[in-house]
Structure 1
Amino acid sequence: MKLTTDLMAIEVGGTISFAVSGLIEAMCKGMDVVGLASVVFVSAFGGGPVRDLLLDRRPLF
């Protein structure tokens, strides 16, 4: 399936929003830089597959 420019922008926006939510949560917990980077990475790139599973979209990546 070929993604159009609009769909690609929505995908990137979703990844950024997951990363920002992880960043906010890690900052509220008072994590150091390594913990903060870990939480941001996992929430950004782990949130997309979870979203795809909930929407029953295949393939995941």
Structure 2
Amino acid sequence: MEALRSKAKRLVARGWLAARRRVDGLREEADRIQAELAVAELEWQEAVGDQGAAHPRLRGRRN
């Protein structure tokens, strides 16, 4: 009976470890996506700002 409990504990620990690794991996991916989004937003703001400066009807507008 004790061997069965020990085996069950090991299986639970492995499941926990696998879940923990998955969470860590997803967090890393989310961080990468957020960084990529920040760069894309800056590029978009720069592009919109350049268009506004080049087009007389858009000068002074904020997007």
Identify which of structures 1 and 2 has the higher relative contact order when contacts are C-alpha pairs closer than 8 Å and 6+ apart: 1
TM-score w.r.t. the length of structure 1 is 0.46
Larger radius of gyration: 2
TM-score w.r.t. the length of structure 2 is 0.45
